[in-house]
Amino acid sequence: MYGEGFSLIRREFPTAIGPVDILARDANNAVVAIEIKRRGDIDGVEQLTRYLELLNRDPTLAPVTGVFAAQEIKPQARTLAEDRGIRCVVLDLEELRGGETDHDRLF
């Protein structure tokens, strides 16, 4: 779902401004914050940007990159995310919730 070689650190990782949906490590052992939405709009990108700013202040986590994942990502949100170095991923939430699949599940 979020990337080849990713491993989960924690779901609902707490920050001072709310929980990040998923905190994981990528194949290079770098920390990645993943925000998941049904509809990916600019507000979701702004939310992930705030999380990344906070997480990158923690020397035990930094550098932290972001993945903005949604069933549908609006063009303006994709442009803003990519401008901020945030990767966008389109996904099927029903499949992740446990529909029949050969892939790893989120929930």
Report yes or no on 56 lying in a domain: yes
pLDDT in tens, the chain (107 residues): 556 788 999 999 999 999 999 999 999 999 999 999 999 999 999 999 999 999 999 999 999 999 999 999 999 999 999 999 999 999 887 766 665 555 554 44
Q: Is residue 102 a part of any domain in this protein? A: no
Q: Does the residue 63 lie in any domain?
A: yes
Predicted model pTM:
0.84
CA-to-CA dists, residue 60 to 5, 6, 13, 44, 64, angstroms: 21, 18, 14, 25, 10
Residue 1 lies in a domain: no
Longest alpha-carbon distance in the chain: 40
CATH of the domain at 64: 3.40.1350.10
Looking at residue 96, what is its pLDDT? 63
Q: How many domains does the chain have?
A: 1
| Domain span at 72 | 7-96
